[in-house]
Chains A and B, each alone.
Chain A
């Protein structure tokens, strides 16, 4: 156990975490890298450069004649996955804090770092991308010193690209990070920090043994789900699964036990022995709760069952996705899906498209609302269409978050204006370094869900990083805004909005829909209404009259292609009443500017 080091990496997106990790794997001869970055193996992950799911890998390294086992536990680098990050951190004794020397410390780095500090991890600060001409090592070092209270000499200068500093990092991992502690003779306690789905073997759970040991074939219990399994196979994670007969305290490993559904393996759960159970579970377990909800509907109503099958398959390796059947007057039968956040939602949407070839409509995302009726009873609503009658509502509460935004001082004004328009309340403001500021805001989550990132990025020209965590529910004056097409309310376009913004919001919705709805054989009236009161109206004029163009021998092909393109466009539309509505119109609200 004294020669084991368990560590993770904390870094902002694009700060070079994966590349540097690859270098470590190469240097320890764990792998010869030919293409791409090893730790991200989903196609989508590669494209987006985000590690969506955490992975783990074992390296071997010799220092001063001693052999060491280094377990690198990878962490996802996005706010949506902060709970998963916290469990990965809890499985480690140390962490590499990677900061891009051309960018400096970002909001997300800080919040994950605080998490690591809370768990008493030994932090090894690393300045990455030192080979870049625009690297600012001194300035960024100062930021790190300020942040960690460490000495400047403790910061390792590295480059994932050239391999600079890799040896120093490995050395620091062994020398600075403490070996895991724990009692090998105590009852088994292993922390699940991740799981993956394998189509042949079912769900494979990844864990770190905190106390005790586990043997192949042993009967184990997952404490929170209370389910029992036989450990058909256990082992350690190298480039492939490497089976072992026994793993003991401090080890990071996997277990295969024929589990079919991902929901049975909860990140943060404790594995213990069935015959000699540990009296308590490892602290910090939480049921992952979806934060953002949206309806997903098949364009063709007959594809409903196929959509269900696709979502079930997605859930196999994404336990944080939830879905429940619902129906909409406008869209027919579909599912209300719950996501960890906006990125998670986008990923699910893209995977449905790419991996399952499902043509779907996603409705405007919303958060979960607590609706209190006159008798003081609370109802949780995940869909604006499911709101009870206004007269029955006593008050509504909505989830709030504490946001942290780090930016250059030049953009403070713009960002404050944005946050204000998003009903944000400034809590504090502090300098990270000479010209960089961290702003803390309390904001309704619902405002973040709707086009906050994009706006933040554009007004700060990309020089703002953002992180948040939920801080509970607060009462809000919310109203339900309905959209009507030719007098028919389209439930899938209903939103909850703050009463003060509602008129402006309704007007913008109508304007945006006017842009997005193609002209049809008749005029289309677009109206925004609160209750029975119409607050805005736009009209999409009927189709331009097709007047007479020539069509002779040389025109046939061109004209056919034109009409076929038109038909393809229509196939991606949903007919509501007699109005054809394109998919993108359902997300109109996200595109308001």
Chain B
């Protein structure tokens, strides 16, 4: 699995705490060159380990323009090969979507698009400081679909200040009218150092009522279920066989390589990430400053617990025992009993999963199962 981070945006959304800077043509050119250098130095044996999945995320990869993207695709092709049924995703801003761009992406092997729609309400889009409007988002989906790409995901955000349940339901229905196969839905988070956070701190906006957010989520789950979507991860829904294989890798503790400033990698025991600094990244092409974190056994166990419990498939306790031994197995049994009795966890065919009620208490339950000294 390969992730490539493009940390540029034309404007910043008020809630975003991902690493990204304001787009600058000159800088982005140098940046892409440095990314290609990092790819080259990975020294990946072409053909020996075909990739299952590539994901180009951001930021806004679609701000790069065709020439930069061409350089990037060529580099990828030169240094990696793909599995037969590979997944190749790119994140796009609806505002950047044109027939030409999509044709170009498709020609370069892109077979999945993640579109940052967020809302179909113009007022809300303005509040979030998004570039596009609702009409543009719908047109973008149509363009992509008409190109023949049939694996389209959109992002939606709920629990905005002053958002009503009716408005949210309308958003869901608008989404379902479009030819999409995947929805990622997030509740609006107030991350420190975002303009959104400051607005709340200064009292200019009031966070959505938690009961209302909860109702929005419930409504989302039931409406999508009726429409044939599977709720395969806490915040992800898809039509059959259209789950994000890339993101599923994160939840199944698969190793992955992240390229670009701020990108994270994981080799099974060690996590590391490139520093979140575009200038430093450009200045050290292929050798960006990195931060390493070696996971202890307990930390690996803890990650395994909470990432697997995020998925509908859940945690396979036999697999867990094989991976981490009897002591860890006994621990997780001891701490899950109470939650199973409370019907917040369930154990079927050795799969431990959150129940629908359990999902809303997931932090409490997951942390309970964890092992700390």
Contacts and interface: CB of A to CB of B under 8 A. Distances in A.
Contact of B367 (A548, A550, A552, A564): A564
Given A557-B264, A567-B368, A547 B250 contact: no
A567 B367 contact: yes
A547 B362 CA distance: 9
Interface stretch (A252-260, A297-305, A367-375, A538-546): A538-546
Contacts of A559: 306
A571 B373 CA distance: 9
A162 interface: no
B185 A560 contact: no
Contact of A551 (B159, B217, B262, B310): B310
A552 B258 CA distance: 12
A194 to B, nearest CB: 40
B266 A553 contact: yes
Contacts of A545: 210-211, 213-214, 217, 360-361
A547 B344 CA distance: 15
A549 interface: yes
A284 interface: no
Interface string B329-365: 0000000000000101000000000000001111110
A545 B360 CA distance: 5
Contact of A550 (B235, B262, B364): B235
Interface in B234-266: 234-235, 247, 250-251, 256, 258, 262-264, 266
A549 B258 contact: no
Interface in B55-81: none
A554 B274 CA distance: 11
A382 B210 CA distance: 46
Contacts of B302: 560, 563-564
Contacts of B187: 547-549
Nearest to B159: A547
Contacts of B293: 557
A547 B214 contact: yes
B235 A554 contact: no
A375 B126 CA distance: 81
A570 B310 contact: no
B366 A563 contact: yes
Given A564-B302, A564-B367, A567-B367, A547 B307 contact: no
Contacts of A563: 302, 306, 363, 366-367, 370
A518 to B, nearest CB: 10
Contacts of A520: 364
B299 interface: yes
B370 A567 contact: yes
Nearest to B263: A554
A541 to B, nearest CB: 9
Interface residues of B, number: 46
Nearest to A541: B210
A548 B217 contact: yes
A571 B372 CA distance: 9
A549 B15 CA distance: 12
B364 A546 contact: yes
B235 A549 contact: yes
B23 interface: no
A324 interface: no
B362 A546 contact: yes
B366 A550 contact: no
Nearest to A575: B338
Given A548-B235, A554-B273, A564-B302, A521 B3 contact: no
Contacts of A567: 367-368, 370, 372
A568 interface: yes
Interface residues of A, number: 26
A495 B124 CA distance: 54
Contact of A568 (B360, B362, B364, B372): B372
Contacts of A147: none
Contacts of B52: none
B86 interface: no
B189 interface: yes
Contacts of B370: 563-564, 567
B197 interface: no
A545 B210 CA distance: 7
A387 B336 CA distance: 39
A553 B185 contact: no
A552 B213 contact: no
B271 interface: yes
Contacts of B256: 553
B348 to A, nearest CB: 22
Nearest to B233: A551
A362 to B, nearest CB: 23
B233 to A, nearest CB: 8
A562 B307 CA distance: 13
B128 to A, nearest CB: 15
Given A547-B217, A553-B250, A557-B293, A521 B364 contact: yes
A568 to B, nearest CB: 5
B367 A566 contact: yes
Contacts of B362: 546
Interface in A7-34: none
Nearest to B18: A554
Contacts of A560: 299, 302-303, 306
B186 interface: yes
A556 interface: yes
B306 A521 contact: no
B200 to A, nearest CB: 15
B111 interface: no
Contacts of A571: 372
Contacts of A557: 264, 271, 293, 303
B184 interface: yes
A299 to B, nearest CB: 14
A560 B271 CA distance: 12
Contacts of A548: 185-187, 217, 234-235
A544 B213 CA distance: 10
A552 B247 contact: yes
A547 B220 CA distance: 12
Interface in B289-312: 293, 299, 302-303, 306-307, 310
B258 A553 contact: yes
B70 to A, nearest CB: 25
Contacts of A570: 367-368
A559 B359 CA distance: 16
A546 B360 contact: yes
Contacts of B234: 548, 551
A544 B187 CA distance: 13
Contacts of B363: 546, 562-563, 566
Given A550-B184, A564-B372, A556 B189 contact: no
A95 B157 CA distance: 76
Contacts of B262: 554
Contacts of B364: 520-521, 543, 546, 566
Contacts of B307: 551, 556
A564 B363 CA distance: 10
Contacts of A547: 159, 187, 210, 213-214, 217, 360
A521 B341 CA distance: 13
A347 B247 CA distance: 52
Contacts of B3: 553
9 contacts: A546-B360, A548-B185, A548-B217, A552-B247, A553-B256, A554-B264, A557-B293, A560-B306, A567-B370
Interface of A: 520-521, 543-554, 556-557, 559-560, 562-564, 566-568, 570-571
4 closest Cβ contacts across the A-B interface?
A: A548-B235, A547-B187, A566-B367, A545-B360
Interface of B: 3, 18, 159, 184-187, 189, 210-211, 213-214, 217, 234-235, 247, 250-251, 256, 258, 262-264, 266, 271, 273, 293, 299, 302-303, 306-307, 310, 342, 344, 359-364, 366-368, 370, 372
Given A545-B360, A563-B366, A564-B372, 10 more contacts: A520-B364, A543-B361, A545-B210, A546-B362, A547-B159, A547-B214, A548-B234, A551-B310, A557-B264, A568-B372
